[in-house]
């Protein structure tokens, strides 16, 4: 049974899905996650509500040095340009936020789409969506990982139409895979994306 078929079963279980993903090699896990379309991702978002809450350590593990990139491979549910990456790093001397941006074929045209990821604790409405938010209202205001593009606000250029006033709320799927839902201000954009962390 494929991951997609597992997700769409009437009796689908996030526990079963997580166990299957955790048992795979990175290459198999990545291929399976990147095969998921909108129907599967929407369903996975619902199932992941039962998962344990995420923390920032999930996205950049504690054993990774500050300002060291951790790559998350992604697939979204947009009509085009579905594949991308979200490189993330921990700012120097900090533990309550992460820096990141969007890497893919559209970056040179649209822009890097920088963000700050942080916990949603303290905002009950956000907490219900997920324990971590990828927040495009904020961009890095300190050093980022070496080799990253220049930090730009999401209020300039074509990226205004993609990233400005948006937030992605994240839920755990497995030890390496997460599912996110995009919101513009406080309204769902009916758009999801799956991420697979590269260790």
Minimal CA–CA distance to 151: which of 114, 107, 187?
114
pLDDT, average across residues 85-93: 98
Does residue 139 register a pLDDT over 80?
yes
Stretch (H or E) spanning 76: strand 70-76
Q: Tokens 């996205």: give the residue.
A: 59
pLDDT, average across residues 158-162: 87
Residues 12 and 135: their CA atoms lie apart, in Å, by 30
Residues 24 and 175: their CA atoms lie apart, in Å, by 11
Count of domains for the chain: 1
3-state DSSP assignment of residue 128: helix
pLDDT, average across residues 12-34: 97
Quick: pLDDT tens for 91-103: 999 999 999 999 9
Residues 181 and 45: their CA atoms lie apart, in Å, by 8
Residue 114 has phi, psi (to 5 degrees) of: -70, 155
Minimal CA–CA distance to 152: which of 117, 112, 104?
112
Residue 145 has phi, psi (to 5 degrees) of: -65, 145
Residues 171 and 179: their CA atoms lie apart, in Å, by 5
Question: How confident is residue 53, by pLDDT bands cut at 50, 70 and 90?
Answer: very high
Pairing of strands 98-100, 177-184: unpaired
Distances (CA, A) of 142 to 52, 90, 134: 31, 11, 17
pLDDT at 81: 77
Distances (CA, A) of 66 to 57, 86, 92, 117, 144: 12, 17, 5, 15, 9
pLDDT, average across residues 12-21: 97
Does residue 157 register a pLDDT over 90?
no
Could you list the residue range(s) of the whole structural domain that residue 170 is in?
A: 3-197
pLDDT at 187: 97
DSSP state letter for 154: T
Q: Are 154 and 114 spatial neighbours (Cβ–Cβ below 8 Å)?
A: yes
């Amino acid at each position: 049974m494929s991951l997609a078929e597992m997700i769409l079963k009437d009796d689908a279980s996030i526990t079963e899905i997580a166990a299957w993903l955790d048992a795979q090699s990175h290459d198999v896990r990545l291929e399976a996650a990147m095969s998921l379309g909108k129907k599967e991702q929407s369903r996975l978002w619902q199932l992941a509500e039962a998962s344990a809450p995420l923390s920032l350590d999930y996205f950049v593990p504690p054993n990774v040095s500050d300002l060291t990139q951790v790559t998350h491979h992604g697939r979204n549910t947009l009509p085009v340009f579905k594949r991308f990456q979200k490189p993330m790093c921990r700012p120097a001397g900090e533990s309550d936020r992460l820096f990141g941006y969007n890497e893919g074929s559209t970056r040179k045209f649209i822009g890097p789409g920088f963000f700050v990821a942080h916990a949603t604790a303290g905002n009950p409405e956000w907490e219900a969506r997920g324990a971590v938010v990828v927040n495009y209202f904020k961009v890095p205001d300190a050093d980022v990982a070496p080799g990253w593009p220049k930090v730009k606000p999401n209020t300039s250029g074509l990226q205004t139409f993609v990233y400005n006033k948006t937030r992605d709320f994240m839920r755990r799927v497995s030890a390496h895979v997460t599912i996110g839902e995009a919101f513009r201000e406080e309204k769902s954009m009916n758009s999801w994306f799956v991420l697979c962390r590269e260790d």
